[in-house]
Chains A and B, each alone.
Chain A
């Protein structure tokens, strides 16, 4: 048992090592780049929106294990969801990683619960989400600062 076991769960380590949906989407409809100037992490999100729904999601870029795994799981989670559902999900996810009250069942995203003990890493977990929200809103870039 190590202190960091609740942060670096097996699933997170696996998504870091073998990220899902990490490639360029040729026919995306929305994209945005997320940048964390503090650590230099760059995560770009590309999505295909069909009406109000996300039909496809991919990411590119580089970052730490937490931001890479978060982006990877994000792309899996948001497929098929509409804008309103995604906004709600991000709100709940944000509450989870910052340690605010969250009763909601976040499914796979709940593995990021360990982040709340590491305030310096919250921005790593939320970088791809900020990029996603920027993309949906039609912005090109976002920064965690």
Chain B
């Protein structure tokens, strides 16, 4: 059940900021961690800490077991074919860089094209730009409309013989748009093009079923799904992962090493060079358990109600404009106030104990699209309530009064 009690699962929320109860509405940047996740990290270092995949002693075996259990939990959570398709990385950013370098770069020739969209996070722009620049390939942009929805029908028009890869986000971090990702994947596959879906803003809000989405690669960051930072997941279809070259060399990604020759390990280990973030992976498993217990569908329902309520209330205020009005949105509410810079909005909100994000959200092309320097963004999570939304609305009203 999603109710007021959830707040008490998150120790950090029980504090005053500038004399007010903290209202945390910066969840698209990072989510807070439930006690069970914090305890898991604590327990790991108190009772289990050891290196994985190598020791014969009890602690090493225990650490390995917990680490691999976490992998299985994630495989089940996103309904992948096997846990071998789940690679632990630092976050969505590293996952995208891995695919760019180990899968796409070897495919790419001069004048080839990679398609991304108008609404990508910088993390799903820059890695592609880097390999394009190196090889002399081109980045092609799938456009969006004024509401902040991708014009999916355009995809067929921009795909051509030179298109080698597509990378699109599932949910936009600055607009909240939920993209028709299954349709986009279908179009990509009809044209024999592989596709990566950046799920950093989707995994915490929407049930993810890899068998249904059918993307070749999918990635997300742990810290946006109530787990620690520094851990994330790259999902890849096993056949592709098997074909790919390693991303980094080192321990654990090899079967045997001589100075003459190295035989690489099988997936997923092939992509996990060096001692990984073991406690982070196990804590991610604990976070997945936590939200599985609540039910991702219940979470989606709760957050949709909050978003609808906030959208309705904010629309009543004169001089406030919502940026991103897609039909299908998830948990993100970006807005601008006439004649008030978002940073001033953020400062007044903070003085009222309301934490929001003010800035370009690593989304400069989206800001340029709307000809604005930045937005203020409130984003919701399982522990937010209607009262939190009321405090947000009150803080917006106060901001307008100050700058009247």
Q: A38-B359, A39-B373 are in contact. Are A64 and B351 (CB under 8 A)?
A: no
Is B359 within 8 A of A39, CB to CB? yes
Q: B residues within 8 A CB of A63?
A: 341
Is A65 within 8 A of B374, CB to CB? no
Is A40 in the interface zone, CB < 8 Å from B?
yes
Of A3-11, A78-86, A98-106, A133-141, which stretch is located at the interface?
A3-11
A6 CB → nearest B CB, Å = 11
Q: A residues within 8 A CB of B19?
A: 3
Q: A4-B348, A40-B374, A41-B373 are in contact. Are A16 and B359 (CB under 8 A)?
A: no
Q: B residues within 8 A CB of A39?
A: 341-343, 358-360, 373-374
Interface residue range, chain B: 20 to 34
Which residue of chain A lies nearest to B339 when distances are taken between CB atoms in the complex?
Answer: A17
Is B347 within 8 A of A118, CB to CB? yes
B71 CB → nearest A CB, Å = 37
CA distance A118 to B374 in the complex (A): 20
Which residue of chain A lies nearest to B20 when distances are taken between CB atoms in the complex?
Answer: A3
Give the total of A residues in contact with B, Cβ under 8 Å. 23
B126 CB → nearest A CB, Å = 14
Tell me if B's interface is mostly helix, strand, loop or mixed.
mixed
Is A65 within 8 A of B341, CB to CB? yes
A111 CB → nearest B CB, Å = 16
Is A132 in the interface zone, CB < 8 Å from B?
no
Is B160 in the interface zone, CB < 8 Å from A?
no
CA distance A118 to B367 in the complex (A): 25
Which residue of chain A lies nearest to B343 when distances are taken between CB atoms in the complex?
Answer: A64
8 Å CB contact of B344 from A38, A40, A62, A65: A65
Is B402 in the interface zone, CB < 8 Å from A?
yes
CA distance A40 to B359 in the complex (A): 8
Q: A residues within 8 A CB of B340?
A: 65
Q: A2-B351, A39-B359, A40-B360 are in contact. Are A124 and B343 (CB under 8 A)?
A: yes
Is A109 in the interface zone, CB < 8 Å from B?
no
Is A121 in the interface zone, CB < 8 Å from B?
yes
Is B262 in the interface zone, CB < 8 Å from A?
no
| Residue from A13, A16, A64, A120 with most neighbouring chain B CB atoms (10 Å) | A64
Which residue of chain B lies nearest to A118 when distances are taken between CB atoms in the complex?
Answer: B347
Is A45 in the interface zone, CB < 8 Å from B?
no
| Residue from B339, B340, B344 with most neighbouring chain A CB atoms (10 Å) | B344
CA distance A66 to B348 in the complex (A): 13
Q: A residues within 8 A CB of B373?
A: 39-42, 62
Instruction: Give 1 or 0 for each of A8-46: 1 = CB within 8 Å of chain B CB.
Output: 100001001100000000000000000000111110000
Interface residues of A in 52-70 (CB under 8 A from B): 62-66, 68
| Residue from B341, B359, B364, B398 with most neighbouring chain A CB atoms (10 Å) | B341
Given A16-B403, A62-B341, 6 other A-B residues pairs in contact with their CB atoms under 8 A: A4-B347, A8-B348, A13-B403, A39-B341, A39-B373, A118-B347
Ordered by A's residue number, 8 sampled pairs between the chains whose C-beta atoms are within 8 Å are A3-B19, A3-B351, A4-B347, A16-B403, A39-B360, A40-B374, A64-B342, A121-B343
In the A-B complex, the 7 residue pairs with the smallest Cβ-Cβ separation, listed nearest first, are A64-B341, A40-B373, A3-B351, A64-B343, A4-B351, A65-B344, A64-B344
Interface residues of B (CB under 8 A from A): 18-19, 339-344, 347-348, 351-352, 358-360, 364, 367, 373-374, 398, 402-403
